[in-house]
């Protein structure tokens, strides 16, 4: 049965389509952080700021964490917005669910830093983290654009002959800058334009921008979560099929009565249940 909290969010999603979005990236960043930062941080998680691969980062360590494994998390926000402050609650809940330390990366954002800046930061962070924690004991996690960044990171690591992570969890992931899936409907041009604002002069089907079109053979186990009625749904369902065809272990969870990126709004019971599912996946495949 759908929760009251989810009903409230779904109602806002239905009505906000006609509302004007803030005009500047600075305003969008400030509004998103102000909206997400008040989400409750669960007790029992130590939070520490640090530097990872020359970028600001934040570590979340629950009391019962196994310190020989970790998650590296890339926040969503269309490669233009999103912050560690806004993701404090999500990453702390994730640390508790996985019983592991979570590292959140403050990667560079467009338009100040265009592609491949974010991807370079993601790869460098994973390489540095894997010097202290075995790469097969690290799980990459990303939501929306962060999910695309996580998958692109794995593809780059493979192309360079470097060890990849032991698993990846992709949440409502933005994997196709060309917006080729039927689920985009009449919003296809909107999403293409948004991705072009990150890609700059690079083609939208470049695998670093659209990792759906990469070579998925040899990737680690994937957990894919997506809402049934979101525009990016087909990115996830197509990846699941392609991954299985490439011999990759892939699990997909499609959520009814949900919305894009609902998992990060930890005041919704369904989000906390999805995070628990991520924890179960991590504890199952990362040994």
Q: Which residues are catalytic?
A: 144, 230, 260
CA-CA distance, 117 to 108, in Å (whole number)? 6
CA-CA distance, 168 to 281, in Å (whole number)? 10
Backbone angles phi, psi at 173, to 5 degrees: -70, 140
Residues 6+ apart with CB under 8 A from 141: 71, 72, 73, 74, 94, 102, 150, 168, 169, 171, 278
Reported in sequence order, the residue ranges of the chain that DSSP labels E, i.e. its strands, are 45-52, 55-62, 70-74, 101-105, 138-143, 167-171, 222-227, 250-255
**DSSP assignment, residue 249?**
-
Contact indicator for 262, 271 with CB cutoff of 8 Å: yes
């Amino acid at each position: 049965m759908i929760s009251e909290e989810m009903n409230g969010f779904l109602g806002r999603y239905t009505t906000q389509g006609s509302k004007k979005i803030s005009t500047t990236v600075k305003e969008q960043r400030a509004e998103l952080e102000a909206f997400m930062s008040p989400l409750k941080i669960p007790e029992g998680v130590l939070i520490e700021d640090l530097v990872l691969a020359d970028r600001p980062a934040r570590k979340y360590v629950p009391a019962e964490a196994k310190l020989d494994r970790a998650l590296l998390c890339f926040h969503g926000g269309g490669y233009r917005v999103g912050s560690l402050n806004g993701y404090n609650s999500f990453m702390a809940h994730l640390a508790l669910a996985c019983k592991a330390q979570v590292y959140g990366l403050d990667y560079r954002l467009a338009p100040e830093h265009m592609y491949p800046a974010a991807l370079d930061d993601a790869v460098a962070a994973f390489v540095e983290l894997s010097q202290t924690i075995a790469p097969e004991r690290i799980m990459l996690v990303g939501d929306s654009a962060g999910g695309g960044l996580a998958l692109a990171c794995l593809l780059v690591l493979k192309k360079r002959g470097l060890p990849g992570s032991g698993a990846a969890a992709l949440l409502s992931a933005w994997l196709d800058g060309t917006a080729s899936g039927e689920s985009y409907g009449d919003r296809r041009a909107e999403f293409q334009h948004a991705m072009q604002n990150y890609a700059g002069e690079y083609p939208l089907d470049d695998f670093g921008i659209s990792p759906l079109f990469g070579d998925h053979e040899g990737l680690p186990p994937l957990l894919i979560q997506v809402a049934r009625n979101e525009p990016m749904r087909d990115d996830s369902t197509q990846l699941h099929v392609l991954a299985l065809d490439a011999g990759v272990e892939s699990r997909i969870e499609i959520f009814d009565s949900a919305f894009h990126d609902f998992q990060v709004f930890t005041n919704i019971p369904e989000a906390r249940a999805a995070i628990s599912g991520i924890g179960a996946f991590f504890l199952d495949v990362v040994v």
